[in-house]
Chain A
Protein backbone atom coordinates (compact mmCIF):
# COMPACT_ATOMS: atom_id res chain seq x y z
CA UNK A 1 0.00 0.00 0.00
CA UNK A 2 1.58 3.25 -1.12
CA UNK A 3 1.66 6.12 1.34
CA UNK A 4 -0.04 9.21 -0.10
CA UNK A 5 2.30 11.36 2.01
CA UNK A 6 5.73 10.13 0.95
CA UNK A 7 5.15 7.43 -1.65
CA UNK A 8 6.83 4.64 0.33
CA UNK A 9 5.32 1.20 -0.25
CA UNK A 10 4.04 -0.18 3.06
CA UNK A 11 2.89 -3.63 4.10
CA UNK A 12 -0.86 -3.87 3.41
CA UNK A 13 -2.97 -3.28 6.50
CA UNK A 14 -0.57 -1.17 8.57
CA UNK A 15 -2.14 1.80 10.35
CA UNK A 16 0.64 4.31 9.77
CA UNK A 17 3.38 4.77 7.19
CA UNK A 18 6.63 3.23 8.43
CA UNK A 19 8.60 6.02 6.78
CA UNK A 20 6.73 9.25 7.59
CA UNK A 21 4.02 8.25 10.04
CA UNK A 22 1.10 9.36 7.87
CA UNK A 23 -2.15 7.76 9.02
CA UNK A 24 -2.96 5.00 6.56
CA UNK A 25 -5.88 3.44 8.45
CA UNK A 26 -8.71 2.64 6.11
CA UNK A 27 -6.89 3.55 2.91
CA UNK A 28 -6.74 -0.04 1.75
CA UNK A 29 -10.31 -0.89 2.69
CA UNK A 30 -12.71 -1.34 -0.16
CA UNK A 31 -14.24 2.01 -0.84
CA UNK A 32 -17.76 2.68 0.30
CA UNK A 33 -20.36 2.81 -2.43
CA UNK A 34 -20.44 6.31 -3.79
CA UNK A 35 -16.72 6.87 -3.15
CA UNK A 36 -14.70 8.68 -5.76
CA UNK A 37 -13.38 5.56 -7.47
CA UNK A 38 -16.93 4.30 -7.90
CA UNK A 39 -18.07 7.69 -9.13
CA UNK A 40 -15.39 7.69 -11.78
CA UNK A 41 -17.05 4.57 -13.14
CA UNK A 42 -20.67 5.21 -12.25
CA UNK A 43 -21.01 8.87 -13.17
CA UNK A 44 -21.56 9.72 -16.80
CA UNK A 45 -19.90 12.37 -18.95
CA UNK A 46 -23.36 13.96 -19.06
CA UNK A 47 -22.80 14.74 -15.34
CA UNK A 48 -19.81 16.95 -16.20
CA UNK A 49 -19.89 20.44 -17.54
CA UNK A 50 -18.58 19.79 -21.03
CA UNK A 51 -16.77 22.48 -23.00
CA UNK A 52 -18.12 23.72 -26.31
CA UNK A 53 -15.66 23.55 -29.19
CA UNK A 54 -15.04 25.93 -32.02
CA UNK A 55 -16.58 24.33 -35.08
CA UNK A 56 -14.91 24.37 -38.47
CA UNK A 57 -15.22 22.73 -41.88
CA UNK A 58 -12.23 21.15 -43.66
CA UNK A 59 -11.69 24.27 -45.78
CA UNK A 60 -11.77 26.75 -42.85
CA UNK A 61 -8.48 28.70 -42.82
CA UNK A 62 -6.41 27.95 -39.70
CA UNK A 63 -6.22 31.67 -38.93
CA UNK A 64 -10.02 31.79 -38.64
CA UNK A 65 -10.06 28.82 -36.26
CA UNK A 66 -7.29 30.38 -34.15
CA UNK A 67 -9.22 33.67 -33.91
CA UNK A 68 -12.34 31.82 -32.81
CA UNK A 69 -10.36 29.75 -30.27
CA UNK A 70 -9.03 33.02 -28.82
CA UNK A 71 -12.41 34.67 -28.59
CA UNK A 72 -14.12 31.65 -27.08
CA UNK A 73 -11.15 30.79 -24.82
CA UNK A 74 -11.35 27.36 -26.31
CA UNK A 75 -8.59 24.75 -26.48
CA UNK A 76 -9.65 22.97 -29.63
CA UNK A 77 -11.58 23.20 -32.86
CA UNK A 78 -13.58 20.26 -34.13
CA UNK A 79 -13.81 19.84 -37.87
CA UNK A 80 -17.13 18.70 -39.30
CA UNK A 81 -17.68 17.62 -42.88
CA UNK A 82 -21.35 17.51 -43.77
CA UNK A 83 -22.14 17.29 -40.05
CA UNK A 84 -19.78 14.38 -39.45
CA UNK A 85 -16.81 14.77 -37.14
CA UNK A 86 -13.67 14.31 -39.24
CA UNK A 87 -10.89 16.04 -37.32
CA UNK A 88 -9.59 17.90 -34.29
CA UNK A 89 -7.19 20.83 -34.09
CA UNK A 90 -5.72 22.03 -30.80
CA UNK A 91 -3.21 24.44 -29.24
CA UNK A 92 -0.36 22.02 -29.71
CA UNK A 93 -1.04 21.77 -33.44
CA UNK A 94 -0.74 25.56 -33.78
CA UNK A 95 2.82 25.24 -32.59
CA UNK A 96 3.95 21.97 -34.14
CA UNK A 97 2.05 21.93 -37.43
CA UNK A 98 1.63 25.58 -38.33
CA UNK A 99 4.37 27.77 -36.82
CA UNK A 100 7.17 25.19 -36.79
CA UNK A 101 6.37 24.12 -40.35
CA UNK A 102 6.28 27.77 -41.49
CA UNK A 103 2.75 27.52 -42.82
CA UNK A 104 0.75 30.68 -43.41
CA UNK A 105 -2.28 30.42 -41.09
CA UNK A 106 -4.39 32.55 -43.42
CA UNK A 107 -3.69 30.34 -46.43
CA UNK A 108 -3.76 26.91 -44.81
CA UNK A 109 -7.04 24.99 -44.63
CA UNK A 110 -7.52 23.36 -41.26
CA UNK A 111 -7.82 19.93 -42.91
CA UNK A 112 -4.07 20.06 -43.66
CA UNK A 113 -3.07 20.43 -40.01
CA UNK A 114 -5.84 18.70 -38.04
CA UNK A 115 -5.64 15.20 -36.59
CA UNK A 116 -8.09 13.16 -38.67
CA UNK A 117 -10.67 10.78 -37.22
CA UNK A 118 -10.26 11.74 -33.55
CA UNK A 119 -11.03 9.46 -30.63
CA UNK A 120 -14.52 10.16 -29.38
CA UNK A 121 -16.49 9.27 -26.30
CA UNK A 122 -20.19 8.79 -25.68
CA UNK A 123 -22.18 11.00 -23.33
CA UNK A 124 -23.03 7.77 -21.47
CA UNK A 125 -19.37 6.84 -20.89
CA UNK A 126 -17.97 7.25 -17.36
CA UNK A 127 -15.41 9.96 -16.53
CA UNK A 128 -12.93 7.11 -15.97
CA UNK A 129 -12.78 6.59 -19.74
CA UNK A 130 -11.78 10.20 -20.29
CA UNK A 131 -9.11 10.10 -17.56
CA UNK A 132 -7.82 6.86 -19.04
CA UNK A 133 -7.49 8.32 -22.55
CA UNK A 134 -5.77 11.43 -21.20
CA UNK A 135 -3.29 9.64 -18.94
CA UNK A 136 -2.59 6.53 -21.00
CA UNK A 137 -2.64 8.09 -24.47
CA UNK A 138 -1.93 11.75 -23.82
CA UNK A 139 -5.12 13.12 -25.37
CA UNK A 140 -6.10 16.57 -24.14
CA UNK A 141 -9.51 17.00 -25.69
CA UNK A 142 -12.04 14.26 -26.35
CA UNK A 143 -15.16 14.96 -28.40
CA UNK A 144 -18.31 13.68 -26.69
CA UNK A 145 -21.23 12.45 -28.77
CA UNK A 146 -24.80 11.43 -28.06
CA UNK A 147 -25.40 8.99 -30.86
CA UNK A 148 -24.39 11.03 -33.92
CA UNK A 149 -24.91 14.35 -32.23
CA UNK A 150 -21.87 16.27 -30.97
CA UNK A 151 -22.47 17.40 -27.38
CA UNK A 152 -19.13 19.11 -26.70
CA UNK A 153 -15.73 17.96 -25.58
CA UNK A 154 -14.07 16.97 -22.33
CA UNK A 155 -10.68 18.47 -21.45
CA UNK A 156 -8.14 18.13 -18.66
CA UNK A 157 -9.74 21.25 -17.20
CA UNK A 158 -13.23 19.70 -17.14
CA UNK A 159 -11.84 16.70 -15.27
CA UNK A 160 -10.03 18.93 -12.76
CA UNK A 161 -13.26 20.82 -12.13
CA UNK A 162 -15.07 17.52 -11.66
CA UNK A 163 -12.42 16.35 -9.16
CA UNK A 164 -12.49 19.72 -7.40
CA UNK A 165 -16.26 19.44 -6.89
CA UNK A 166 -16.32 15.77 -6.00
CA UNK A 167 -13.49 15.71 -3.48
CA UNK A 168 -15.21 18.44 -1.53
CA UNK A 169 -18.48 16.53 -1.49
Chain B
Protein backbone atom coordinates (compact mmCIF):
# COMPACT_ATOMS: atom_id res chain seq x y z
CA UNK B 1 0.00 0.00 0.00
CA UNK B 2 1.42 3.39 -0.95
CA UNK B 3 2.42 5.64 1.90
CA UNK B 4 0.18 8.49 2.96
CA UNK B 5 2.53 11.10 1.56
CA UNK B 6 2.51 9.35 -1.82
CA UNK B 7 -1.28 9.27 -1.83
CA UNK B 8 -1.51 12.92 -0.92
CA UNK B 9 1.08 14.06 -3.43
CA UNK B 10 -0.20 11.70 -6.11
CA UNK B 11 -3.78 12.90 -5.78
CA UNK B 12 -3.17 16.63 -5.63
CA UNK B 13 -3.12 18.39 -8.95
CA UNK B 14 -1.22 21.62 -9.52
CA UNK B 15 -4.58 23.31 -10.08
CA UNK B 16 -5.58 22.45 -6.50
CA UNK B 17 -2.86 24.62 -5.00
CA UNK B 18 -3.59 28.24 -4.16
CA UNK B 19 -2.51 30.35 -7.12
CA UNK B 20 0.36 32.73 -6.68
CA UNK B 21 0.13 36.15 -8.24
CA UNK B 22 1.99 36.21 -11.53
CA UNK B 23 4.06 39.08 -12.82
CA UNK B 24 3.67 39.42 -16.62
CA UNK B 25 5.78 41.54 -18.93
CA UNK B 26 6.40 41.97 -22.67
CA UNK B 27 9.69 41.05 -24.41
CA UNK B 28 10.39 44.77 -24.90
CA UNK B 29 10.16 45.50 -21.17
CA UNK B 30 13.54 46.74 -19.91
CA UNK B 31 15.53 44.87 -17.27
CA UNK B 32 15.31 47.92 -15.02
CA UNK B 33 11.53 47.75 -15.17
CA UNK B 34 11.60 43.98 -14.57
CA UNK B 35 13.78 44.52 -11.47
CA UNK B 36 11.30 47.11 -10.19
CA UNK B 37 8.31 44.81 -10.75
CA UNK B 38 10.07 41.85 -9.11
CA UNK B 39 10.87 43.90 -6.04
CA UNK B 40 7.59 45.80 -5.68
CA UNK B 41 5.36 42.82 -6.42
CA UNK B 42 7.51 40.56 -4.23
CA UNK B 43 7.78 38.17 -7.13
CA UNK B 44 10.58 35.76 -7.95
CA UNK B 45 10.05 35.55 -11.71
CA UNK B 46 8.32 37.30 -14.58
CA UNK B 47 6.47 35.49 -17.34
CA UNK B 48 7.21 37.10 -20.68
CA UNK B 49 4.25 37.21 -23.05
CA UNK B 50 3.61 38.41 -26.56
CA UNK B 51 -0.02 38.90 -27.63
CA UNK B 52 -1.15 36.84 -24.68
CA UNK B 53 1.14 33.92 -25.56
CA UNK B 54 3.90 32.81 -23.20
CA UNK B 55 7.28 33.22 -24.89
CA UNK B 56 9.70 33.05 -21.97
CA UNK B 57 10.49 33.29 -18.29
CA UNK B 58 13.03 35.41 -16.45
CA UNK B 59 13.76 34.60 -12.81
CA UNK B 60 15.78 35.93 -9.92
CA UNK B 61 18.34 33.25 -10.66
CA UNK B 62 18.65 34.62 -14.20
CA UNK B 63 19.35 38.04 -12.72
CA UNK B 64 22.24 36.54 -10.77
CA UNK B 65 23.49 34.38 -13.66
CA UNK B 66 23.05 36.63 -16.67
CA UNK B 67 22.54 40.28 -15.88
CA UNK B 68 23.72 41.39 -12.44
CA UNK B 69 27.32 42.08 -13.42
CA UNK B 70 27.08 42.95 -17.08
CA UNK B 71 23.69 43.94 -18.41
CA UNK B 72 22.57 47.51 -19.06
CA UNK B 73 19.22 48.02 -17.28
CA UNK B 74 17.88 49.42 -20.56
CA UNK B 75 18.24 46.00 -22.24
CA UNK B 76 14.90 44.41 -23.22
CA UNK B 77 14.19 41.31 -21.13
CA UNK B 78 13.35 39.42 -24.34
CA UNK B 79 17.07 39.29 -25.16
CA UNK B 80 18.05 37.55 -21.92
CA UNK B 81 15.02 35.49 -20.89
CA UNK B 82 14.84 31.71 -21.09
CA UNK B 83 13.05 31.07 -24.35
CA UNK B 84 14.29 27.97 -26.13
CA UNK B 85 14.21 25.19 -23.56
CA UNK B 86 11.25 26.57 -21.67
CA UNK B 87 9.69 23.91 -19.44
CA UNK B 88 5.94 24.19 -18.87
CA UNK B 89 3.33 22.11 -17.09
CA UNK B 90 -0.45 21.77 -17.36
CA UNK B 91 -2.35 22.61 -14.18
CA UNK B 92 -4.15 19.28 -14.51
CA UNK B 93 -0.92 17.36 -13.90
CA UNK B 94 -0.19 15.93 -10.45
CA UNK B 95 2.06 17.85 -8.11
CA UNK B 96 4.53 14.94 -8.26
CA UNK B 97 5.28 15.88 -11.88
CA UNK B 98 6.25 19.36 -10.73
CA UNK B 99 8.49 17.99 -7.96
CA UNK B 100 10.18 15.57 -10.36
CA UNK B 101 10.93 18.31 -12.90
CA UNK B 102 12.11 20.78 -10.26
CA UNK B 103 14.60 18.30 -8.85
CA UNK B 104 15.76 16.77 -12.15
CA UNK B 105 16.12 20.04 -14.06
CA UNK B 106 17.26 22.13 -11.11
CA UNK B 107 14.59 24.75 -11.68
CA UNK B 108 12.26 26.15 -9.07
CA UNK B 109 9.61 27.97 -11.07
CA UNK B 110 7.58 26.43 -13.85
CA UNK B 111 5.02 28.32 -15.96
CA UNK B 112 1.65 26.63 -16.42
CA UNK B 113 0.07 26.41 -19.86
CA UNK B 114 -3.40 25.04 -20.62
CA UNK B 115 -4.40 22.67 -23.42
CA UNK B 116 -4.84 25.61 -25.81
CA UNK B 117 -1.34 26.87 -25.11
CA UNK B 118 -2.60 29.76 -22.99
CA UNK B 119 -0.55 30.80 -19.96
CA UNK B 120 -2.23 29.67 -16.79
CA UNK B 121 0.00 30.84 -13.92
CA UNK B 122 3.14 29.47 -12.33
CA UNK B 123 4.16 26.94 -9.68
CA UNK B 124 7.22 27.27 -7.45
CA UNK B 125 9.06 25.03 -5.02
CA UNK B 126 7.71 26.90 -2.05
CA UNK B 127 4.12 26.07 -3.12
CA UNK B 128 5.01 22.41 -2.67
CA UNK B 129 6.43 23.02 0.81
CA UNK B 130 3.24 24.89 1.77
CA UNK B 131 1.22 21.86 0.70
CA UNK B 132 3.34 19.59 2.89
CA UNK B 133 2.93 22.03 5.79
CA UNK B 134 -0.81 21.99 5.18
CA UNK B 135 -1.03 18.22 5.55
CA UNK B 136 1.32 17.94 8.48
CA UNK B 137 0.34 20.96 10.53
CA UNK B 138 0.68 19.05 13.77
CA UNK B 139 4.24 18.12 12.82
CA UNK B 140 5.34 21.43 11.42
CA UNK B 141 3.46 24.19 13.09
CA UNK B 142 3.27 22.97 16.66
CA UNK B 143 7.00 22.82 17.02
CA UNK B 144 8.27 23.58 20.51
CA UNK B 145 8.95 27.21 21.38
CA UNK B 146 12.55 26.17 21.99
CA UNK B 147 13.02 26.28 18.20
CA UNK B 148 12.24 29.98 18.02
CA UNK B 149 14.26 30.83 21.11
CA UNK B 150 17.28 28.95 19.92
CA UNK B 151 17.09 30.41 16.47
CA UNK B 152 17.10 34.06 17.40
CA UNK B 153 20.77 34.11 18.34
CA UNK B 154 23.44 31.55 18.98
CA UNK B 155 24.22 31.18 22.62
CA UNK B 156 26.56 33.90 23.76
CA UNK B 157 26.39 35.42 20.27
Contact = CB atoms under 8 A, between A and B. Distances in A.
B81 to A, nearest CB: 15
B102 A91 contact: no
Interface residues of A, number: 53
Contact of A157 (B38, B125, B134, B153): B125
B38 A95 contact: yes
Contact of B128 (A6, A91, A163): A163
A95 B16 contact: no
Contacts, number: 135
B13 to A, nearest CB: 8
- Among A31, A67, A95, the one with the most B-chain Cβ atoms within 10 Å of its Cβ is A95
A2 B16 CA distance: 12
Contacts of A2: 134
Contacts of B11: 4-5, 22
Contacts of B60: 91-92, 94-95
B5 A36 contact: yes
Interface bin, chain B: 35 or more
A37 B84 CA distance: 39
Contacts of B154: 120
Contact of B135 (A4, A120, A132, A133): A4
Interface string B45-68: 000000000000000110111001
A31 B2 CA distance: 12
B69 interface: yes
B80 interface: no
Contact of B100 (A5, A119, A128, A164): A164
Interface of A: 2, 4-7, 22, 26-27, 31, 35-37, 40-41, 63, 66-67, 69-70, 73, 75, 91-92, 94-96, 98-100, 105, 117, 119-121, 128-129, 131-136, 156-157, 159-161, 163-164, 166-169
